[in-house]
Each structure stands twice: as structure tokens, then as C-alpha cells.
């Protein structure tokens, strides 16, 4: 048994090739066992075991820097760099993060919760090291899915020829979360499959070596190589950008990986190493369905038979699309995660997976809307953050009618700080003409989707949390649900917190379904109370609680007002723990009501 608490980068380097292969097998078995219990990103990490062992065989962190993109492929790196014993605490309260965190370990060069950032970050790190005269290499490990994001190309376009300490490893597994889409994916497929290039290159070299004229020509072999390459590939985009290209290489052959990385290390030029891996490698269920096993929940985390908000929203949209040919669905490599597989199955001509390219998805949706279509962009709250400019410029100014299904809104539990869905409200409420709904059960989700599609002119957002959706709900739509006047204290909230405030003794309750603009009825009602307590599963600054206070003061409120909300994204823990720590669980709400009564 090689995998133990003695594991370290130095130990990896001391092993012979057979030992490294054995260690890879042990790490893979360890990941399957641990991640099945803790939850986390399983398939992506199973695919990068050999690659990570090879990286730590060739490079020496923290002097050398490894930037993982997306960071959910960094579990083997964490195991190797001092977090083996703590791995059972992955994504739990007080445990290790599911992504690289420089505050967690000196071996983590850069945070990596969102995709397509690695080239830009690594380029900045490499440039700083050169300016400061520091030795060492910088390696950006980017997946082919992340390569569909525009920021990756902005970084590639800025790599100078003097950046010899920068190496980009393209982890090509034909997947992002769902299968990679678009021209880039097709291009990489051609590069992977066209082995004839390598055969022809060797044939040209062999032919030239047997003639005197050929020996002279061979002195200019790089030109011949480029000519052959252009004829077969129609050019290599990476070399066109000034990067030396190596590969593709089998990403599960640790010996070949080490050899290729050593070459890249000594080349003295910025380069890309193209590595071909299999997502879910070594675990048959994950190999057969890597999308489902991309991120798996903690064991027993969902009640048997319960349906998620995402699933219900996806089915509802497909049902409405059956009667409205204008309805389209757009997703950014999140077909299954956002429930849009139902649109893909029943209306493939009106379903668009654009890859990890949220900015493009938003503007693409606006283009659809400009021609009379009714696009729905289904996106995690945390990834909608990337679309601020597009919301303002492309959607709001000319009032394009697009609908946002904002999934995983609010606290997301074990995914940690990088994925909390708590910024979409402050962002969207600053965009002119935007209307936002926040359902709390199955019936209100259905109602909000219909309102967003049919009763708005501009940007319409329906935001809902991760996880199981309570069944049932009201029979008729209302912007607010108000318990009636029986007290001088009013508790106001929205979203899933509706479950935590209902029936509290000593206070009336008002739940917003339409959360922005603030419904007139809600503001007038709340202004009559001596005390208003607003509970919000989102940010205090810029949140609905602040806007609600302004609205009721305009209508004559003169009582006491208190907002309980978040001031900073919480660390990984289960949602119940995060709610409790923020004072948003039922017990905390009851205590807040009684404290001042």
C-alpha cells in the first residue's frame, strides 16, 4: 500500500514508474470510496489521476505553480499535497474545499471555482515571477470544456514569446459537465482522430533523410512540417497563437505523460501539451454516464422520490413549449444539471447548448428574442454573474424579452464560497426593466414560470434553490402571500425561507412571490406595522431587504426594521448549517421574533 499519510510531492518523485502506476490505482480507488460518501466532483477527478501524478513527478510545488481550470479536477492534487488525512472532510463544515484555495495550502496557486480562468491567471503569475526574477514554471491545466469559454482565448491571445516558463496542459476528455459542444470541440476531435498527420510527418522525414537534396531540405524541416500540418489540419490553432504544440498523448499512461511534460519543461518556449483522458476513468458507472457522475451529492442527501426545482422547471417548460413554438431553451453546458434535457429530448431544434460560454448564451438569447422567439436561459446563479454587461447592454436597453431560469439560487451547501447563489439579486435589481420571481414550492414555481414567459416585456427571472421542491402550494397566483393582521410584528421573506416563517407565534408573515419590483400591496401592508423583520437568503447589501425598507418608508413606515441576511459567502457546509449560522433557520427566526416582543 503506497497511499498513506506520508504521501507528498517528494514521495511521488521517489517512486519508480511501476510504483507511480500502482499509486494511481490506489488513488482512484480512494477517490471512489471517499467522494461517494462526501459528495463532490467524481468523474472529472477520476480522469486526471495519472495526469496529476505526472505533474507532481515533473514539477515542484509551491515553487512551480499549477493552476487548475476548473478546480473540480484537483482532488488528486489535494491528496498529494498534504490533505490526505483530511480528505474525508471534503466540502463539509470546517473541512477542505472542493476547489483550490490559496488560503488552504501553499500548493494551491489560484482559486478555481469557475471555468476558463486558468490561462489568464497563469499568465499573470508567470509574468510576475519573471519580473521578480523568481525561478520556476507555471502550468495551467484546462479542460476542453473550459476551452469553450471566451476568457481562455483572451488569455491565449496575450501570451508572448518570452513566456518560456508557461505551460498549458489541455485535458481533453470531450466533456465539460455535459458533452462539449461547438466548433472548438469539433476541432479537437479532428486533432485527436487524425493520427495520419504524425504518420505523414515521419514519412516526410524518412524520405528526406535518404537523398542529398532531402538532407538540405531537412534543414528547413519546420517549414515542411508546417506545410504537411496545414494540408492535413488546416493549421493548428495553438501554434498559430505562438504556442509550441505537443500531443496528443494518452492521459492515462503516466510514463508517457512524464516524458511529454519533461520535454515541455525544458523547451524554453510557451507551449501546450494536449492530453487525452477519459472522464470517470476506472469506475464503470461514471465512464458510461460522466455527466451524471460529474458532481454527486452526499450520500442520502435527498428524500426518496422527491423532485428537484430544476426537474420540475424543465418539465414545465417542455410542456409549455408544446403549445408555443416560440419557446427555446439555452444552456451553458448544463443540460442535465438545469433540467433542460426535457427540451432537448422533445424539441431538439429549439434547444441550444452553447458550451461554457454564459456571456454568449445571454447575447444569443437576445438575438433569438429580437426575431420574436421566446428564449429561456437556464443557468446557475453563480454563473449568471458572468453576464452583467450582456444583461445591461444586450437585453435591457432595447427591452429584449428573455427569461432567466436561475438555478441554485441562494445557499448551495457543500459547493462552498465560489458557487453560492447570493449575488444575482443585487445584480439584477440594478438592471432596468427586470422583474424577478422567487417561488417556494411546486405550484408557485409553475405560476412564476407562466408569469415570466407571458406577462413581461423585458428581462424576467425565476430564481429557485438547489434540491427538493416541496409539493403542493396555492391554487391561484398572487404577488404576495399574507397571513393577515393579528400582531404588531411582521416577518417578511421570500423563496424557500417561506417554509421557515409560516405559523410563527407572535408575528404575522408576508411572503413575496414577486420580489422585484416590490409589489405595492406588500409595501402598503408592511408600513402599517410597528416592527418589520426581513429574512433574506442573499446578500444584505443590495438585497431585497434594503429595497423593501425604502419602499415602506416611502409609504409612511416609522417603526423598527431589521434585516437578517448575508454579508459574505459562507464556507462549505450543508445548507441547514449555513442557514443556521446566518440566522435564517426556523429556530433563529422564532428567537428573533421573541427577542424584541
Please state, for a pLDDT cut of 90, what percent of the chain lies above it.
69
Ramachandran bin of 294, using left for φ above 0, alpha for ψ from -120 to 50, beta for the remaining angles: alpha
Q: Scan for cell 445591461, then name that residue.
A: 392
What is the mean pLDDT of the segment spanning 546-564?
97
Question: What pLDDT, on a 0 to 100 scale, did the predictor assign at position 30?
Answer: 93
Assign 77 a pLDDT band (cuts: 50, 70, 90): very high
Segment 129-151 shows an average pLDDT of 91
Closest CA to 468 of 447, 442, 498: 442
Residues linked to residue 329 through DSSP beta bridges, in sequence order: 351, 376
120, pLDDT greater than 80: yes
- From the candidates 181, 278, 386, 463, which is the catalytic residue? 386
Domain 309-463 and domain 480-595 have a common topology: yes
pLDDT at 234: 40
Per-residue pLDDT tens digits for 534-551: 999 999 999 999 999 999
Catalytic residue among 276, 278, 279, 514: 279
Residue 193 has a pLDDT of 42
Q: Residue 297 has what pLDDT? A: 60
- CA distances for 345 relative to 253, 315, 403, 412, 489, angstroms: 37, 11, 20, 28, 49
Q: Are 539 and 568 in contact (CB under 8 A)?
A: no
- Mean pLDDT, residues 149-153 taken together: 89
Return the ∠ at Cα 259 (arms to 188 and 5), rounded to 5°.
100
587: pLDDT strictly greater than 60: yes
CB 169 within 8 A of CB 85: no
Q: What mean pLDDT do residues 239-257 have?
A: 89
**Residue 580 and residue 589: Cα distance in Å, rounded?**
10
Name the pairing type of β-strands 514-516 and 531-539: unpaired
Could you tell me which residue, 467 or 211, shows the higher pLDDT? 467
Give me the catalytic one of 358, 414, 537, 546.
358
Tally of helices (H runs) and strands (E runs) in the chain = 26, 17
Q: How would residue 232 be classed by pLDDT, with cut points 50, 70 and 90? A: very low
Dihedral of CA atoms 8, 12, 14, 16 in degrees, nearest 10, equals 160
DSSP symbol at 356: S
Residue 399 has pLDDT above 50, yes or no: yes
pLDDT-derived band of residue 585, with 50, 70 and 90 as boundaries? very high
350 is catalytic: no
Which ranges of 132-270 would DSSP assign to H, the alpha helix?
150-156, 183-193, 196-209, 212-218, 221-233, 237-240, 254-266
Q: For position 197, what pLDDT does the model report? A: 43
- Rounded to whole angstroms, the Cα distance separating 38 from 257 reads 30
Give dist(CA 496, CA 595) in Å, integer.
23
480-595: which CATH topology? Rossmann fold (3.40.50)
**pLDDT over 90 (residue 256):** yes
In this prediction, residue 233 carries a pLDDT of 42
Percent of the chain scoring above 70 in pLDDT = 86
Q: How confident is the model at residue 452 (pLDDT cuts 50, 70, 90)?
A: very high
Q: What angle do CA 136, 76, 174 make, to 5 degrees?
A: 95
- Model confidence at 400, in pLDDT bands (50, 70, 90)? very high
Query: What's the pLDDT score for residue 155?
Result: 92
The overall average pLDDT reported for the chain is: 87
Distance in angstroms (rounded) separating the CA atoms of residues 365 and 377: 7
The string of pLDDT tens digits covering residues 262-277 is 999 998 889 999 999 9
Instruction: Evaluate if pTM is beyond 0.85.
Output: no
Q: Is the pLDDT of residue 217 over 50?
A: no
**What is the Cβ-side half-sphere exposure of residue 111, based on CA atoms within 13 angstroms?**
8
Domain ranges of the chain: 9-200+235-288, 309-463, 480-595
Q: Is residue 380 classed as helix, strand or coil in its secondary structure?
A: strand
Q: What is the pLDDT of residues 292-343, one digit of tens each?
A: 555 556 554 444 457 999 999 999 999 999 999 999 999 999 999 999 999 9
User: CA 167, CA 56: separation in Å to the nearest integer?
Assistant: 14
Q: Which superfamily does CATH assign the domain made up of 309-463 to?
A: Thiamin diphosphate (ThDP)-binding fold, Pyr/PP domains (3.40.50.970)
* DSSP code string of 287-322: HH-TTTTSSBPPTT-S-TT--BHHHHHHHHHHHHHT
Separation between Cα atoms, residue 392 and residue 362, nearest integer Å: 11
Q: Is 90 exceeded by the pLDDT of residue 509?
A: yes
Q: How far apart are CA 412 and CA 437, in angstroms?
A: 19
Catalytic residue check, 520: no
Residue 243 pLDDT: 86
Q: Which spans in 556-596 are helix H?
A: 575-581, 586-595
Q: What pLDDT shows up at residue 196? A: 43
Per-residue pLDDT averaged across 386-410, rounded?
A: 96
Q: Which of 41-50, 393-402, 521-530 has the lowest mean pLDDT?
A: 41-50
Is 358 designated active site?
A: yes
CATH 3.40.50.970 assigned to domain 9-200+235-288? The reply is yes
The closest of 124, 197, 202 to 163, measured between CA atoms, is 124
Query: Which cell numbers hold the place of 72?
Result: 473540480
As a whole number, mean pLDDT of residues 69-77 equals: 89
Across the range 14-24, mean pLDDT stands at 96
What is the pLDDT at residue 27? 94
Amino acid at each position: 500500500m503506497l497511499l498513506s499519510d506520508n504521501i507528498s510531492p517528494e514521495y511521488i518523485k521517489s517512486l519508480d514508474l511501476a510504483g507511480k502506476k500502482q499509486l494511481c490505482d490506489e488513488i482512484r480507488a480512494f477517490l471512489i470510496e471517499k467522494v461517494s460518501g462526501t459528495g463532490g466532483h467524481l468523474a472529472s477527478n477520476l480522469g486526471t489521476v495519472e495526469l496529476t501524478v505526472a505533474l507532481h513527478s515533473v514539477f515542484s510545488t509551491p515553487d512551480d505553480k499549477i493552476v487548475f481550470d476548473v478546480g473540480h479536477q484537483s482532488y488528486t492534487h489535494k491528496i498529494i499535497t498534504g490533505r490526505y488525512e483530511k480528505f474525508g472532510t471534503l466540502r463539509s463544515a470546517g473541512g477542505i474545499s472542493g476547489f483550490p484555495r490559496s488560503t488552504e495550502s501553499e500548493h494551491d496557486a489560484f482559486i478555481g471555482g469557475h471555468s476558463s480562468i486558468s490561462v489568464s491567471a497563469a499568465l499573470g503569475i508567470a509574468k510576475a515571477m519573471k519580473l521578480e526574477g523568481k525561478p520556476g514554471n507555471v502550468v495551467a491545466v484546462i479542460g476542453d470544456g473550459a476551452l469553450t469559454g471566451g476568457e481562455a482565448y483572451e488569455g491565449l491571445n496575450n501570451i508572448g514569446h518570452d513566456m518560456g516558463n508557461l505551460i498549458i496542459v489541455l485535458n481533453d476528455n470531450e466533456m465539460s459537465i455535459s458533452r462539449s459542444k461547438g466548433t472548438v470541440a469539433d476541432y479537437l476531435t479532428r486533432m485527436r482522430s487524425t493520427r495520419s498527420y504524425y504518420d505523414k510527418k515521419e514519412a516526410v522525414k524518412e524520405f528526406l533523410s535518404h537523398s542529398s537534396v532531402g538532407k538540405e531540405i531537412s534543414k528547413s524541416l519546420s517549414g515542411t512540417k508546417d506545410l504537411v500540418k496545414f494540408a492535413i489540419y488546416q493549421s493548428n490553432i495553438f501554434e498559430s497563437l505562438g504556442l509550441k504544440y505537443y500531443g496528443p498523448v494518452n492521459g492515462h499512461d503516466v510514463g508517457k505523460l512524464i516524458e511529454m511534460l519533461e520535454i515541455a519543461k525544458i523547451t524554453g518556449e510557451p507551449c501546450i501539451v494536449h492530453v487525452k483522458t477519459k472522464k470517470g476513468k476506472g469506475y464503470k458507472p461514471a465512464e458510461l454516464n460522466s455527466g451524471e457522475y460529474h458532481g454527486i451529492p452526499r450520500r442520502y442527501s435527498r428524500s426518496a422520490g422527491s423532485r428537484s426545482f430544476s426537474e420540475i422547471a424543465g418539465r414545465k417548460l417542455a410542456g409549455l413549449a408544446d403549445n408555443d413554438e416560440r419557446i427555446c431553451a439555452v444552456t451553458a453546458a448544463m443540460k442535465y444539471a438545469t433540467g433542460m434535457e426535457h427540451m432537448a429530448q422533445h424539441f431538439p431544434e429549439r434547444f441550444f447548448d452553447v458550451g461554457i460560454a454564459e456571456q454568449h448564451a445571454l447575447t444569443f438569447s437576445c438575438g433569438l428574442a429580437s426575431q420574436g422567439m421566446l428564449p429561456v436561459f437556464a443557468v446557475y446563479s453563480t454563473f449568471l454573474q458572468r453576464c452583467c454587461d450582456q444583461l445591461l447592454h444586450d437585453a435591457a436597453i432595447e427591452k429584449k424579452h428573455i427569461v432567466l431560469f436561475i438555478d441554485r439560487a441562494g445557499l448551495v451547501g457543500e459547493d462552498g464560497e465560489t458557487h453560492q447563489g447570493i449575488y444575482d439579486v443585487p445584480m439584477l435589481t440594478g438592471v432596468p426593466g427586470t422583474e424577478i420571481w422567487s417561488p417556494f414550492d411546486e405550484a408557485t414555481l409553475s405560476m412564476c414560470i407562466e408569469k415570466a414567459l407571458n406577462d413581461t416585456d423585458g428581462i424576467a427571472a425565476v430564481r429557485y434553490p438547489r434540491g427538493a421542491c416541496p409539493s403542493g402550494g396555492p391554487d391561484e397566483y398572487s404577488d404576495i402571500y399574507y397571513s393577515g393582521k393579528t400582531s404588531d410584528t411582521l416577518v417578511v421573506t421570500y423563496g424557500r425561507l417561506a417554509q421557515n416563517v409560516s405559523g410563527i407565534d407572535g408575528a404575522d408573515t408576508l411572503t413575496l412571490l414577486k420580489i422585484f419590483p416590490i409589489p405595492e400591496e406588500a409595501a402598503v401592508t408592511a408600513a402599517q406595522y410597528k416592527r418589520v423583520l426581513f429574512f433574506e437568503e442573499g446578500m444584505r447589501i443590495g438585497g431585497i431587504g434594503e429595497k423593501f425598507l425604502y419602499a415602506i418608508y416611502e409609504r409612511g413606515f416609522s417603526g423598527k426594521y431589521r434585516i437578517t441576511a448575508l454579508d459574505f459567502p459562507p464556507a462549505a457546509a450543508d445548507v441547514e448549517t449555513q442557514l443556521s449560522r446566518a440566522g435564517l433557520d426556523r429556530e433563529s427566526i422564532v428567537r428573533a421574533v421573541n427577542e424584541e416582543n
